[in-house]
Chains A and B, each alone.
Chain A
Amino acid sequence: MKIRLINGLLALLMFTVASGASVADDDALVIYSGRSDKFVKPVVEAFTRETGIQVVLHSAKSTALLNKLRVEGARTQADLYISNDAGNLQLGSDLGLFEPLDGKLVEDIPANLRAPDNTWVGLSARARVLVVNTRQSRTAFVKSVFDLADPRLKGRLGITNSSNESFIAGTTVYMLKAGKETTRQWLQGMKDNAEGQVFNKHSKIVAAVAEGRKDIGLVNHYYIYRHLAKHPEAPVKILLPDQGDGGMGVAWNVAGVAVSKFSHRKEQAKRLVRFLVSREGQEIFAKVNREYPTRGDVAADPDIPPVSSYKVADVPMAELARQRNATIDLLEEVGMP
């Protein structure tokens, strides 16, 4: 009986080994996706319907996937990389992992929302904004993100932990616009105001502000509308910071796509990029998450503030990668939770 058991185990092992080869369909495009499945799937499915090209989504955190791409080098099975953070995209580009795309392919996307050498292209944009509880007036003085360091907000401020990609990207923009020292003091003030309690999700900040546990929070814009879609009566509103004369404007970040330099299916991969920057692709990709389509001629969700209605901080997206370690150094110096 024992012999039979051992034989059975061996057979299973052989099966394991054999099935290892058949896991990935050879013809399918492989996307390393750092963006939530549910936001990528609709557009990918539309692409497959239109072209018949199968796509496999390999999802994980953006940064972990970029590490994987870096270590794999030429042996990677990925054809495309999707990230929610321009910093990651530009870092991959600086590491020489991505294929420069033909300028014609991506000409419909504004130049400041893609890599200078077109190694990646932005697909949707998010704004770093403030969420405010409408049933209080303690935050009436807040006009700029830097006001979040004001001691009047002690215990009333909601921020994410400082390893959050959006938090890091936003801080990089502020550091580039206002200088290191101002940003350091700002972080210190926010750290005091947070009283050691930070959130691990933006959605929880919005919920806390809606419930009155916090008065104000620093979030990406779509979290507010996602909450409002579920709870239309929630007492929260968006506040666009740093507007008016001399204001640095709202920090933006983009989610985007890059084609792997080592892909064996570059033609199909470029077809997917073409689809993603097309009107149809843009409609699906940006709108499932109420983000701004990067293509100027595709309208954003009617609920969110129109792009033309406010000022955006003029920091090139590529800088988000170059300054990332400096930002993390600053966050660590302050001991941001």
Chain B
Amino acid sequence: MAVLLHKDRLLSLATGGIVTLAAIPLLFVAYTSLQLNASEWAGLWSSRMPDLLWNTFLLVMLVAAGCLVLGVSAAWLIARRQFPGRTAALWLMVLPLTIPTYVFAYVYTSLLESHGWLGRLWQGLFGEGVPVPDLYNAVGVALILSLSGFSYVFLMSYAAMRRSNPHLEEAARIQGATSREVFWRITLPLLRPAIAAGLAVVTLHVLSDFGAVSMLRYQTFTLSIYLQMTGRFDYEAAAGLSLVLVMLALTFLVFERFFRSRQRFYFGSRVKRVTPRHASRGELILIWSWLGLIALLAFVLPLLWMLSWSWTAWTREAIGVEFWGYLGNSLLVAFAAATIAVFAALPIGYYYNRVRSWLSALYLHLSSIGFVLPGPVVALGALTFILAALPALYGGLLALVLVLVVRFLPLAVQSQESALQQLTPSIEQAGRLLGAGPLENLRRVVLPMIRGGMISAWVLVFIDVMKELPATLILRPIGFDTLPVRIWIEASEEMLELAAPAALLLLVGSLPAMWIVMRGEKAR
């Protein structure tokens, strides 16, 4: 018992240390916004807040609805029906994760121009008189963010559907429920925790998205904060807005957790897996036209766009060896940040799982800060801190990697936590009783049990770091360009033929990580 207590204290210390590091950007924000006086707060509140709140809220709702429709429908079709090309469909539903939101925004604005593919299609269908719709509004931005984010909802609800217990559905059917009733009253409610978790990830991405909203000029908190910071050099106002954003997001997270904690479903250990039914011919047409449409919009069209412009670049001999350098830089940063994040997240989730106290919950929530604060704010906070406290690190790669770890730590914590939940103290005690020392226990009992969670955490962080733009833009070492940075620079100069190959390489570079996820999915 004494040993256990001692271990917990160590764990608590380690967790506290990591969380403190992760909370530095928040401290920066809190400190800077303290410089605002009451009248400045009031000015901020009355002039910008109502619009920003409404814009952000509207966007979150629209994207959540979009991701719900796309993600859950696709997950249900693939999990519950056996049809030709099912593995391909599975891949097509997660591949959009390799395309950053700003690339989506960029691809679709250029496709919708009057001489773009979709623009010409539109005018062919409706005549030249009907203006081509554009994306510079809430619906347009929501469409882009839904296409790039629905895969999270898909992944989580697909996994849950594969796991869910068919007995309950069978019981309902025996009681005379129609299949529609079964779906709405049994299947969907059972999926709620998974869907909620997926939507939480999507919502956090929306709140912190910078690329798409800045390309489409949609005023959310993040964009407004960025403009305050860079346009006016008004750090205080930017910090004030950030603080409000953090409050919003933390409220959302607490609610989500509360909602989820009351929604846990336990099944016996001998669960029969759902066997997907063979699709009828009619269903097959329906399945492939729906999944095909999703895949076309969320992956195939952007891919074709990248290929076509990359081909142009290739024939103009515009692609030099430097592109391999950008790819190498991206992979290096993503690999390092993902690896550190996974190990840094471990104590936080472990501590929360082991000791349920206000402190462990506080740690857990504080570790989410990085994801909630806009990238530019995280970067500026970290920059200020590093310059003041650790000047030796400044300008090096380590500083960038550490900031990216802070930014995506919550993603790692979230996906490891579910794996850690299976780890009951009795399992560990069993290991100790059988004579394993603490280290051997960790290596032979704990790590193997949570390995799956660690791997998926690693992959999620890896993919997000590959796509990360705003913090990298500010903190990268001199002359150190990653693929997103290149895409951003070339795209803001209308150099499509140079932005496209970078986006394509980004996609290709993320494929191995996607393969790791998919291998896990298929094994089940």
Contact = CB atoms under 8 A, between A and B. Distances in A.
Main secondary structure of the interface of A (DSSP, over half): helix
A17 B401 CA distance: 9
B383 interface: yes
B277 to A, nearest CB: 40
B479 A58 contact: yes
Contact of B495 (A38, A56, A58): A38
A285 B380 CA distance: 32
A20 to B, nearest CB: 3
A134 interface: no
A325 B396 contact: no
A30 interface: yes
B493 interface: yes
Interface in B133-165: 134, 136
Interface in A29-45: 30, 36-38
A86 B372 CA distance: 35
B403 to A, nearest CB: 13
B494 A64 contact: no
Contact of B479 (A20, A24, A207): A24
* Most chain A beta-carbon contacts within 10 A, residue among B230, B336, B339: B230
A23 B398 contact: no
Interface size class of B (residues with CB under 8 A): 35 or more
Nearest to A226: B494
B114 interface: yes
A23 B217 contact: no
Nearest to A333: B47
Contacts of B136: 197-198, 200
Given A71-B387, A200-B217, A337-B217, A24 B233 contact: no
B447 to A, nearest CB: 7
Nearest to B401: A16
B494 to A, nearest CB: 6
B21 interface: no
Contact of B336 (A13, A63, A78, A325): A13
A234 B339 CA distance: 54
B479 A2 contact: no
A71 B229 CA distance: 12
Interface in B451-487: 473-474, 477-480
Interface string A36-75: 1110000000000000000011111101101110111101
Contacts of B114: 211, 213
Nearest to B478: A24
B102 to A, nearest CB: 12
Contact of B397 (A9, A17, A201): A17
B493 A38 contact: yes
Given A59-B489, A197-B134, A67 B397 contact: no
A287 B103 CA distance: 31
Nearest to B343: A9
Contact of B380 (A58, A71, A163, A201): A71
Contact of A64 (B217, B394, B473, B480): B473
Contact of B230 (A21, A59, A63): A63
A203 interface: yes
A242 to B, nearest CB: 26
Contacts of A12: 335-336, 339
Contacts of A197: 134, 136
Contacts of A67: 229-230, 233, 380, 474
Contacts of B401: 16
Given A19-B397, A23-B397, A59-B489, A203 B443 contact: no
A200 B479 contact: no
A198 B136 CA distance: 9
Contacts of A161: 217
* Most chain B beta-carbon contacts within 10 A, residue among A16, A23, A61, A328: A16
A16 B493 contact: no
A37 B231 contact: no
B499 interface: no
B520 interface: no
Nearest to B395: A77
A79 B394 CA distance: 16
Nearest to B448: A2
Contacts of A228: none
Contact of A17 (B217, B231, B398): B398
Given A9-B339, A36-B493, A201-B494, A23 B232 contact: no
A204 to B, nearest CB: 8
A194 B370 CA distance: 38
Contact of B383 (A19, A57, A60, A71): A71
A237 to B, nearest CB: 21
A21 B398 CA distance: 9
A276 B69 CA distance: 57
A107 interface: no
Contacts of B414: none
B227 A163 contact: yes
Nearest to B134: A197
Interface string A1-23: 01000000100110011011101
Q: Which 10 A-B pairs have the closest CB atoms?
A: A20-B396, A20-B397, A23-B477, A63-B230, A56-B479, A24-B478, A36-B493, A16-B336, A161-B217, A58-B478
Interface of A: 2, 9, 12-13, 16-17, 19-21, 23-24, 30, 36-38, 56-61, 63-64, 66-68, 70-73, 75, 77-78, 91, 161, 163, 197-198, 200-201, 203-204, 207, 211, 213, 324-325, 328, 332, 337
16 contacts: A17-B397, A17-B398, A20-B396, A21-B396, A23-B397, A56-B479, A60-B473, A61-B492, A64-B474, A66-B233, A71-B387, A75-B391, A77-B395, A197-B136, A200-B217, A211-B114
